[in-house]
Each structure stands twice: as structure tokens, then as C-alpha cells.
């Protein structure tokens, strides 16, 4: 009798019937897949949609609930109230606790200086965004109200411009979005970490954003860089302009840029005063790093450094030793401390409940479409109200012809419930109009009053016609948005705080890099991503190379200690590094694990490593869909010391192999259905953009894909003419047994 197949125990876990794991009592078995679907996925979706990712109005739900509560409390027009009072009222919409609500208020407050345009006019100690240790006071000590700019957040919110939904216990209503009259999503910096995704949006100058939105509405092909030259932060500092990086962020919504502290040299005291620091760091972090470098002996030019921040603003003072050149010292500090820091951008925004990473142009297009819908709803609401009023006045106009008849009908009607029906019959009006007539005061039943009221009929009809004309005209709707943006820009626009530096001198190379000796080394790379750099002497004395269990050699190459290399990953990114950054290894060691050493993102895997040499030649990308892209290696040569390049290659198809070549060579492609093709890279034209999709080389049959590719010289193919083609794309030929590699190839790139 066949043994009954047992279900695997690893995919199930025991759960108590009372919902608590690990306690005594009866248990039930639940598959992990069901646990993920029933328990984990709702949590993940809740964090993404209802907590961490901002929406098109520029707010997360916690921000929106707090500001709307303050608006309903009348804090837009009235004086300040205790923060504790605001926190308590907000808990009607946000049940996550008073501490979380107050932290949200602190970030939105003017005193904290997090936002370029704070929404909360605060009084008291709200801490500082540039200080890690300066704690904000408790909510019972501080006061707050809404800043005047919040009038632009709530304009016409009572005119059905946005949807209103029930709060968590269905006792009141709250808006799903705030009808902001300007693209606040780009004006207010926002950061959030959800489940499996994150968002990091930098702030831009309000006037520049409004001007850019207007320019794009007038001309969709407008160059955004002309009106939006760079980011702007509440902490000021200097933005080191990089046109390529800026355009990448504006186009894709991803990338990074550098911020540098502002400083001045005071000759009288032989000291440096730092007055503005990058948005991404804090004064304590800078002080700790400088102290660490001084202690390690890497900085010897500083005799003292202190924090002199007071009510007048931030100030870090550095006392210099005699004979120190301030400019050289600051270049060194920029290179070694957070006084120069990078801001990574990830413009991930919820659009109709779906997270999307968008560039600046796409965000402004989405905002314009959403704002157009808000204005349409406002116009429709106004038309309805005016039509209702017009309807009542037309009923009143009917009784103007015979006021005595209306009085007689009301007087002669015995029952109150029959007054309205009798008026409807007597004048041919509907119930709403009859009710309106019946409610008129006795003193107002005269010709003068009724004439005065009905004079507005013609004006109302004209207003309704104008509103309908605007509602049905895309051009007029666009004009309304432009006028609102111009008004906001004129009223609330401020000069830039962050200075854009177009020709900043590059930081001098690190002394350690200058001192790095250049000597021959041999590089070994394993399939799992372990890299070993072994000197010639050590290699002669060593035995067999050691690898992790299940791992093996992927490539080996002779080069020099100062050589640069690129690591391409399956996330369309490229990491750049130098071999001098790695310690000399031995054959008996596993080596450095590249994903950890280079800082890969979670779930990111290495596809290929390329030694750059002098950045001559080109890189050949082979994709699963049978396409190949020939990109000059010089496209990856950066003037700055950027360690990571996003959009390193096309994301239209999974990457199979990367081959680096000094000159055109013969390449063999293998498909999953047992075919091979030999072609020359001279048949491909080099592409100037890194993320080009390439051209079709291997024609694939249904369900087949490009499996691998290598140089012909290392393929072991005997019958070369069988697989060679003069024109591409081509299907190749079935691979013969004698041409198939007996074992996994080791590729040199």
C-alpha cells in the first residue's frame, strides 16, 4: 500500500483559537500563504494608502486630519489656543494617540523650521529641524493657530470641491483631500516609509513651482529647468547644481543631489562660522563627526569647535590653528563630514489610491488635472445654488401679478396643511416655490418687496450662464487655475533660501586616495558576489581559491590596485567603486561581499561586474527579450564621486549579461529553446543614452527567451559558420552537441 503523502510542515504554523500564539490551549493550523493574505496584506495596504505615502494635495492623512480639525476650530481667523486642546480635538479624526498627533503638529509648525511655508503659526518651543537634541516642549506649554497660507488649502472646501467621508467611528465627516490652490506636493518636503516602498520628496520654491505650473499649462513642451532651477529648503545652505542629475530627477522622480553648508571666515578671530547646514543633517551629527576625525588624527587644523546657536539662528564656530587656509579646510570638511550631504529623491505619490513614482512634469500634470476637477465641482455647486435661488424667485414672480389673490388663498384656507397645495393650484407653481411664498412674512407681502426680490432674476440667469460657459470651456478653466496660481505666487511667494552654486569647485581628492599605491593585482569574483583582490606575491604563494559552499568562480582578471569598476544590478542601477577601497585578500578567505560593501538595496542582486580601465570601448547589454544595447563605457564616467547611478540601463526587459569590450568582437547568444547565434558587435550602432532599449538581435520563438551570451573566443563553438549571421535580427540555428559547453563557462569581462 502506498504511503500517504505528508503535507510539508514548514508552510504552516500553529495559532491558538483565542488569537494569541504561544499560550496553552487548543490550536489551529493556518498556511503561511493564508496568513500573509489575510493578516499581513491588509496591514501593508493600510500603511501604504492610509499612513506613509502623501497624496496629490501634498499631505499624508495625519497632516490632513490635524489641519482640518484646526480649520473647524476656527483657528484660521481666531487667535491661538493651547496645543493640547488641538491635539484632543484631532483625536476625533485620528485615533493614533496624542504623542503622534503632536509630533505631526511640531513638524508643520513655524518654530520647527521644517517647511518652507509652515502651516501652523506656533508660539513656544517647537524644537528645530536642524537639531537632534533640542526637544520640543510639551503640548500643554505651547500654543498654535493656522498660518494665513492655510486659506489656500481650504478655499471653497464647503463648496463640494472634495469628497467628504465618515471618520473612524462615523460620528463626523472629514475630507479625503484638501483643495489646495497651489501644488503643495512639491512645495512641502515630505518623507514616508511604507511596507515595501518609500517616498522622499524634496521642497521647491513656491513662486518657482507656480511659475512652472503656469508655463506647462501654456506650453506642455516647456523646459522645466528654465523656471524651476533647483530645490529649495527651509534650512538654506547651497545646492551644488548638476544639470544631468537634475534632469534625471525632473524626468524620473528618482536620483540625488548634493547640499553644502554656508560658511564665512572671520579674520579678526581666525575662525570659521557655519550659518546654514544641509537639510539632511543636524548640528550634533556634524559636531560628533568632526570630534571623531580630530580624535583619529585625520583633522589637525582645528583647535576648537562649538555650537553657538541662539535665538538669532544657527551658528557653528570653528577656531583655526595658526597658518591654516580656511578654504582648504572647508573642502576637507565637505569631503569627510555631513557639512556636504546628498539628498536622495523618490517622488512616490498616491494617485487615486495607487502609488506612482513620477517626475516633476508628470506630478504637475496630475495636480493640474486634479485641480481642474476641484474647480469643476465648485462651479457645479455654485450653479446648483443659484438655480435653486432662481427657482424660488420665479415662483415669487408669479404672485407679483396678483398679490391679493395670494393673500386671499392663504386667508380663506381653513387648514394649515392645505395652504401650500392651494397656492400651487392657484398660481401654477411647484411645492418648493409655494413653501417659499407661504413663509414670507406678512409685512413683506407688498409690491415693493417682491419687485426688489425679483429684480435679481435676470442677474442670476446671467451668472448661471457665465458659470456654465466656464464649466464647459477647458480654456476658461485653465485661466481660472492660472489666475489662482498667480495670486498665490504674488501673495505668499518668498525669495529662495537655498543658494544654487553652478560652478562649485570639486572637493580635493582624499589624501588617502592620493597615497593609495598602484601595483598589479588579480581580481576574483564569485557567482554570489564575493570579491577578492590578491597581489601577485600572495597569489604565487597561495593554494586553491576558497569559496562559500555552493558558490564558484564567475570571473578573474589581472588589473591594478587603483582600477575602477562598475557593478550592474537587477534593479537597473550601477554601483561604482575602486579596488583600492578593498583590502588585499588571500586565496584562503571568502573576500568582500559586494552587496553589503556597496550598499545594495533590499532584494537587489548583482548581474555583472565591469572593470572600467580608461573608460574606452563600450558595454554590451544583452536582454531577455533578444535585444542588445551597445553603450559607450564613457557614459558611466562621472565627474563627481557618485557611487550609485540610477537608470543605468533599460528597464523594459530583464538583463541577462553585460559584456565590456575595447573593440568590436564576435558574440554568441544562446536561447532557452536550444538555439545559438553568432553576430558581430560592429553591426550595432552605439547609443548615447544609458537606458536605451537597444535593437533586436535574436529572433525568439513563442515562450523562448535569451538565456546567455559570451564572446565567441571563449565559447568553445566548433561549427562557427552554422550560427553566424550577416543580418540581424536572426533566429540562429539549433545548437549541436559538440558546440554546447560541457560545463558552466567562466567569463572574463
Here the cell at position 384 is 446648483
Q: Write the DSSP assignment of 492-510 as a string of letters.
A: H----SSEEESSPPPPPPP
CA–CA dist 379, 470 (Å, integer): 8
Residue 37, SS3? helix
Here the cell at position 339 is 557639512
Q: Write the DSSP assignment of 411-468 as a string of letters.
A: HH-SSGGGHHHHHHHHHT--HHHHHHHHTS-GGG-SHHHHHHHHTHHHHHHHHHHHHH
Residue 293, SS3? helix
The single-letter DSSP state of residue 555 is E
CA–CA dist 576, 726 (Å, integer): 36
Pair 420, 436: CB distance under 8 Å = no
Closest CA to 149 of 58, 278, 54: 58
CB atoms within 10 A of CB 666: 16
Which H or E run includes 252? helix 243-252
Residue 365, SS3? helix
Closest CA to 119 of 167, 49, 60: 60
Pair 412, 425: CB distance under 8 Å = no
CA–CA dist 560, 370 (Å, integer): 57
* 141 catalytic per annotation: yes
Question: Which among 141, 502, 519, 615 is annotated as catalytic?
Answer: 141
Q: Which contacts of 503-510 are long-range, i.e. CB under 8 A and separated by 24 or more positions?
A: 504/238, 504/240, 504/241, 504/260, 505/331, 506/639, 506/640, 507/331, 507/332, 507/334, 507/335, 507/340, 507/641, 508/328, 508/331, 508/332, 508/335, 510/335, 510/336
Query: What are phi and psi for residue 113, nearest 5 degrees?
Result: 60, 35
Pair 647, 605: CB distance under 8 Å = no
Pair 580, 562: CB distance under 8 Å = yes
CA–CA dist 744, 80 (Å, integer): 73
Pair 283, 233: CB distance under 8 Å = no
Distances from the Cα of 556 to the Cα of 267, 325, 523, 578, 615, angstroms = 56, 45, 5, 16, 19
Residue 255, SS3? strand
CA–CA dist 631, 257 (Å, integer): 24
Q: What angle do CA 186, 189, 190 make, to 5 degrees?
A: 105
Residue 360 C-alpha from the chain's centroid: 10
Pair 589, 530: CB distance under 8 Å = no
Here the cell at position 411 is 386667508
Active site residues: 141
Amino acid at each position: 500500500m502506498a504511503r500517504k503523502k505528508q503535507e510539508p510542515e514548514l508552510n504552516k504554523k500553529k495559532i491558538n483559537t483565542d488569537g494569541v500564539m504561544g499560550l496553552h490551549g487548543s490550536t489551529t493550523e493556518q498556511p503561511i500563504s493564508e496568513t500573509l493574505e489575510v493578516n499581513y496584506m491588509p496591514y501593508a495596504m493600510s500603511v501604504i494608502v492610509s499612513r506613509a505615502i502623501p497624496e496629490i494635495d501634498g499631505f499624508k492623512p495625519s497632516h490632513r486630519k490635524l489641519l482640518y480639525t484646526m480649520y473647524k476650530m476656527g483657528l484660521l481667523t481666531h487667535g491661538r489656543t493651547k496645543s493640547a486642546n488641538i491635539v484632543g480635538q484631532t483625536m476625533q479624526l485620528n485615533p493614533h494617540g496624542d504623542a503622534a498627533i503632536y509630533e505631526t503638529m511640531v513638524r508643520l509648525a513655524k518654530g520647527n523650521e521644517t517647511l518652507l511655508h509652515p502651516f501652523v503659526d506656533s508660539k513656544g518651543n517647537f524644537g528645530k529641524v536642524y537639531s537632534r537634541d533640542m526637544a520640543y516642549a510639551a503640548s500643554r506649554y505651547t500654543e498654535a493657530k493656522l498660518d494665513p497660507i492655510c486659506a489656500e488649502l481650504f478655499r471653497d472646501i464647503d463648496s463640494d470641491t472634495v469628497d467628504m467621508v465618515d471618520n473612524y467611528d462615523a460620528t463626523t465627516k472629514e475630507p479625503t483631500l484638501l483643495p489646495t490652490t497651489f501644488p503643495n506636493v512639491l512645495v512641502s518636503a515630505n518623507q514616508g516609509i511604507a511596507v515595501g516602498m518609500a517616498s522622499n520628496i524634496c521642497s521647491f520654491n513656491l513662486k518657482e513651482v507656480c511659475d512652472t505650473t503656469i508655463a506647462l499649462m501654456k506650453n506642455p513642451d516647456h523646459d522645466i529647468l528654465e523656471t524651476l532651477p533647483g530645490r529649495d529648503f527651509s534650512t538654506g545652505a547651497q545646492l551644488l547644481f548638476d544639470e544631468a542629475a537634475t534632469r534625471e530627477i525632473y524626468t524620473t522622480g528618482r536620483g540625488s543631489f548634493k547640499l553644502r553648508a554656508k560658511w564665512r571666515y572671520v579674520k579678526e578671530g581666525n575662525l570659521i562660522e557655519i550659518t546654514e547646514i544641509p537639510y539632511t543633517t543636524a548640528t550634533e551629527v556634524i559636531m560628533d563627526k568632526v570630534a571623531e576625525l580630530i580624535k583619529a588624527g585625520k583633522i589637525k587644523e582645528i583647535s576648537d569647535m562649538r555650537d553657538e546657536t541662539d535665538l538669532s539662528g544657527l551658528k557653528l564656530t570653528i577656531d583655526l590653528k595658526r597658518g591654516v587656509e580656511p578654504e582648504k579646510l572647508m573642502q576637507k570638511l565637505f569631503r569627510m563630514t555631513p557639512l556636504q550631504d546628498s539628498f536622495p529623491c523618490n517622488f512616490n505619490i498616491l494617485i487615486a489610491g495607487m502609488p506612482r513614482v513620477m517626475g516633476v512634469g508628470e506630478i504637475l500634470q496630475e495636480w493640474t488635472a486634479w485641480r481642474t476637477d476641484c474647480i469643476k465641482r465648485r462651479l457645479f455647486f455654485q450653479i446648483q445654488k443659484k438655480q435653486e435661488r432662481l427657482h424660488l424667485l420665479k415662483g415669487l414672480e408669479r404672485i407679483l401679478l396678483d398679490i391679493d389673490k395670494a393673500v386671499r388663498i392663504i386667508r380663506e384656507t381653513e387648514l394649515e396643511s392645505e395652504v401650500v397645495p392651494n397656492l400651487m393650484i392657484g398660481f401654477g407653481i411647484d411645492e418648493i416655490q409655494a413653501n417659499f411664498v407661504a413663509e414670507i412674512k406678512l409685512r413683506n407681502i407688498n409690491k415693493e418687496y417682491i419687485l426688489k426680490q425679483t429684480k435679481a432674476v435676470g442677474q442670476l440667469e446671467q451668472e448661471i450662464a457665465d458659470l456654465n460657459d466656464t464649466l464647459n470651456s477647458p480654456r476658461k478653466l485653465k485661466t481660472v487655475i492660472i489666475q489662482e496660481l498667480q495670486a498665490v505666487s504674488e501673495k505668499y511667494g518668498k525669495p529662495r533660501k537655498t543658494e544654487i552654486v553652478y560652478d562649485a569647485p570639486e572637493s580635493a581628492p582624499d589624501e588617502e586616495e592620493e597615497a593609495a599605491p598602484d601595483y598589479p593585482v588579480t581580481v576574483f569574483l564569485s557567482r554570489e558576489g564575493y570579491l577578492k583582490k590578491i597581489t601577485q606575491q600572495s597569489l604565487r604563494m597561495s593554494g586553491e581559491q576558497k569559496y562559500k559552499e555552493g558558490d564558484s568562480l564567475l570571473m578573474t582578471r589581472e588589473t591594478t590596485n587603483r582600477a575602477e569598476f562598475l557593478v550592474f544590478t537587477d534593479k537597473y542601477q550601477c554601483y561604482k567603486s575602486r579596488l583600492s577601497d578593498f583590502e588585499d585578500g588571500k586565496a584562503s578567505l571568502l573576500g568582500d561581499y559586494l552587496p553589503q560593501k556597496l550598499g545594495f538595496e533590499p532584494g537587489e542582486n548583482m548581474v555583472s561586474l565591469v572593470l572600467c580601465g580608461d573608460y574606452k570601448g563600450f558595454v554590451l547589454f544583452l536582454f531577455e527579450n533578444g535585444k542588445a544595447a551597445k553603450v559607450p563605457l564613457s557614459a558611466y564616467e562621472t565627474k563627481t564621486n557618485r557611487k550609485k547611478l540610477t537608470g543605468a540601463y533599460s528597464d523594459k526587459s530583464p538583463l541577462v549579461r553585460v559584456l565590456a569590450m575595447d573593440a568590436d568582437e564576435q558574440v554568441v547568444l544562446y536561447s532557452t529553446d536550444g538555439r545559438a547565434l553568432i553576430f558581430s558587435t560592429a553591426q550595432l550602432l552605439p547609443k548615447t543614452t544609458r537606458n536605451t532599449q537597444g535593437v533586436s538581435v535574436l529572433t525568439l520563438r513563442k515562450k523562448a527567451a535569451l538565456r546567455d551570451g559570451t564572446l565567441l573566443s571563449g565559447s568553445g563553438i566548433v561549427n562557427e559558420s552554422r550560427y553566424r549571421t550577416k543580418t540581424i535580427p536572426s533566429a540562429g540555428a539549433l545548437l549541436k552537441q559538440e558546440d554546447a559547453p560541457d560545463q558552466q563557462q567562466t567569463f572574463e569581462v
